[in-house]
Amino acid sequence: MRVRRLCASVCVAVAPWGAPQAWADDWLGQDKAQHLLASAAFSTAVTVATARPDIGFWTGVAAGALKEVWDRNRSASHEASGRDFLWSVAGAYVGSQGGGWLLRRSGGETVLAYAWRF
C-alpha cells in the first residue's frame, strides 16, 4: 500500500514534465548523480533532525521539484528535466530511508551511527 501511494504521488508530481523535451536528456547523464546526492543530503538531514522519514522524503522531493521549476524558469541557460526530477526522488528515498543508518541523534547531538576502530 505504501509503495502504491509513493508511486502515485511521483506520477502526479512528474505530470507537469509531460513535454517531450523534458525527457530528452540521458538517464545516466553527468548531472544525475548530483541530483541524487543533493536530494539524499536534504532528506537525510531532515530525517535525522525530525526522526520522521516521511518528512525527510518529502523535503528531498520538494527540493528536487523546486530545482526543476527553477530550471524551467531559466530556460535560456537551463532545461527542466523529468529524468532529473526522478533521480531527485530516488535520492530523497535513499536519504530518508538510509540516512538513519549513517547518522543518528544521541543526547542532543548528531553522531555517526557506526564507528570503525583500527
Q: Is the entire prediction scored with pTM above 0.75?
A: no
Helices and strands: H and E segment counts in the chain: 4, 2
With 90 as the cut, is the pLDDT of residue 114 above it? Answer: no
88 within a domain of the structure (yes/no): yes
Number of domains in the chain: 1
> Which residue range is the domain that position 59 belongs to?
30-104
- As a whole number of angstroms, the distance between CA 80 and CA 35 comes to 12
Quick: pLDDT tens for 56-107: 999 999 999 888 888 778 767 677 788 889 999 999 999 998 876 777 777 7
Q: For the chain, what is the mean pLDDT?
A: 78
118 within a domain of the structure (yes/no): no
Angstrom CA distances, 42 to 26, 58, 63, 74, 109, stand at 24, 10, 8, 23, 18
DSSP reduced 3-state for 115: coil
